[in-house]
């Protein structure tokens, strides 16, 4: 008979879960020997990456445990912990992995029986599940977001579920999906300038500017929303697994460049001019077709001509014009 050899990793908050686990020991209770507990300050601190990492490194299952609802010692960290685990469960399910490999449960420091019962039940459930494929070698990145993606991608690839991943968006802080109103977007590129993670980028040829968006890099920070002059962008804090895993970098807008009618330098897109045309026409429709350098020259020239005219027509003195 071979003895039990699977590991189950548990992230237990220092305030309640870890204390309950201690108390279970002090009260002579039992829970399965597979359990390996890692102490966290608050269950809310449990990074989803840590949970995934547990599975990747070969733990059969991972649980997150914290204080009772409404009794978190840090406000609502336990709520965040539960959200994190539910988020991961949805992700696992979307890539075809039984979400039962991970769980969360909550009890107070004075509830060792509840802790050991929940742990025992979870371990029993997990041990009956098939072993997850070993993807350790496929995960290499040290970057948090990249590693997170690599793990999910590796599982989906090995399990052959990449093609049919569920596309339903999953809400989560730290992820973002933009929607761009193509009628409003003028391809000015301001969003790309302010995007910190290069989720939005531009590609330019001599005649075109193309706008690209990579969902897997987006953090939902809304810098693009603040940058956009035409309020064309909306951001939702959610992850769309398919484009996320595919690292899709898709074009969401693009426009022809316009060359300066005087010097020939490219200075705007057609849509930008369309957008600002009305304002400029109030001043002088002619300058719309000029780049910003030529526009200044033209305005200066116009002013000098106007001054000369005013003086010559005796409408103003030289002093007044100056």
Footprint (CB under 8 A) of another protein, residues 277-296: none
Which long-range CB contacts under 8 A does 93-96 form with residues at least 24 apart?
93/166, 94/165, 94/166, 94/168, 94/170, 94/241, 95/152, 95/155, 95/156, 95/159, 95/161, 95/162, 95/165, 95/241, 95/245, 96/156, 96/159, 96/161, 96/164, 96/165
Counting contacts by CB under 8 A, is residue 203 touching another protein? no
Question: Using CB under 8 A, which of 17, 19, 185, 253 touches another protein?
Answer: 19
Counting contacts by CB under 8 A, is residue 190 touching another protein? no
Look-up: residue for tokens 């003195």?
Answer: 317
User: Smaller CB distance to another protein: residue 72 or 185?
Assistant: 72
User: Smaller CB distance to another protein: residue 108 or 161?
Assistant: 108
User: What span, in angstroms and rounded, lies between the C-alpha atoms of 209 and 204?
Assistant: 4
Instruction: Tell me the closest approach of the beta carbon of residue 52 to another protein, in angstroms.
Output: 10
User: What span, in angstroms and rounded, lies between the C-alpha atoms of 137 and 173?
Assistant: 29
Site for another protein in 26-45 (CB under 8 A): 26-31, 33, 35-42, 44-45
User: What span, in angstroms and rounded, lies between the C-alpha atoms of 55 and 84?
Assistant: 15
Question: Using CB under 8 A, which of 158, 174, 276, 311 touches another protein?
Answer: 174
Counting contacts by CB under 8 A, is residue 221 touching another protein? yes
HSE-up of 19 (CA within 13 Å, CB side)?
17
Question: Using CB under 8 A, which of 124, 140, 144, 203 touches another protein?
Answer: 144
Q: Phi-psi bin for 232: left (phi > 0), alpha (psi -120 to 50), beta?
A: alpha
User: Smaller CB distance to another protein: residue 4 or 301?
Assistant: 4
Counting contacts by CB under 8 A, is residue 61 touching another protein? no
User: What span, in angstroms and rounded, lies between the C-alpha atoms of 141 and 160?
Assistant: 22
Counting contacts by CB under 8 A, is residue 194 touching another protein? yes
What are the φ and ψ backbone dihedral angles of 272, each rounded to 5 degrees? -65, -45
Counting contacts by CB under 8 A, is residue 77 touching another protein? yes
Contact string 89-108 vs another protein (x = CB under 8 A): ------------------xx
Q: Candidates 80-88, 200-208, 294-302, 305-313: pick the segment binding another protein (CB under 8 A).
A: 80-88
Dig out the tokens for 125 from the structure.
Answer: 């459930």
User: Smaller CB distance to another protein: residue 220 or 243?
Assistant: 220
Burial class (CB in 10 A: 0-12, 13-18, 19+), 210: middle
Counting contacts by CB under 8 A, is residue 152 touching another protein? no
Instruction: Tell me the closest approach of the beta carbon of residue 8 to another protein, in angstroms.
Output: 11
User: Smaller CB distance to another protein: residue 84 or 187?
Assistant: 84
Instruction: Tell me the closest approach of the beta carbon of residue 107 to another protein, in angstroms.
Output: 8
């Amino acid at each position: 008979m071979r003895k039990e050899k699977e590991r189950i990793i548990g992230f237990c908050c220092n305030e309640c879960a870890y204390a309950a686990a201690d108390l279970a020991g002090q009260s002579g209770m039992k829970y399965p020997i597979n359990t390996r507990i890692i102490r966290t300050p608050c269950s809310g601190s449990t990074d989803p990456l840590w949970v995934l990492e547990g599975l990747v490194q070969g733990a059969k299952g991972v649980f997150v445990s914290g204080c009772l609802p409404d009794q978190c010692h840090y406000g609502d960290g336990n709520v965040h912990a539960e959200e994190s685990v539910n988020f991961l469960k949805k992700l696992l399910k979307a890539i075809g992995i039984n979400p039962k490999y991970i769980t969360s449960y909550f009890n107070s420091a004075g509830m060792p029986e509840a802790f050991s019962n929940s742990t025992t039940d979870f371990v029993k459930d997990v041990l009956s599940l098939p072993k997850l494929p070993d993807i350790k070698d496929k995960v290499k990145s040290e970057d948090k977001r990249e590693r997170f993606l690599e793990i999910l991608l590796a599982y989906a690839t090995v399990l052959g579920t990449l093609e049919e991943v569920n596309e339903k968006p999953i809400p989560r802080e730290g992820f973002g999906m933009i929607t761009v109103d193509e009628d409003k977007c003028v391809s000015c590129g301001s969003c790309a300038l302010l995007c910190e993670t290069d989720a939005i980028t531009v590609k330019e040829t001599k005649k075109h500017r193309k706008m690209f968006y990579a969902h897997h890099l987006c953090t939902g920070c809304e810098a693009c929303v603040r940058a956009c002059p035409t309020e064309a962008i909306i951001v939702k804090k959610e992850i769309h697994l398919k484009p996320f895993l595919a690292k899709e970098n898709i074009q969401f807008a693009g426009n022809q460049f316009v060359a300066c009618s005087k010097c020939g330098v490219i200075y705007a897109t057609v849509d930008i001019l369309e957008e600002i045309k009305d304002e400029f026409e109030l001043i002088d429709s002619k300058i719309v077709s000029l780049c910003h350098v030529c526009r200044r020259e033209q305005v200066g020239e116009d002013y000098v001509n106007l001054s000369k005219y005013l003086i010559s027509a005796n409408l103003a003195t030289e002093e007044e014009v100056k």
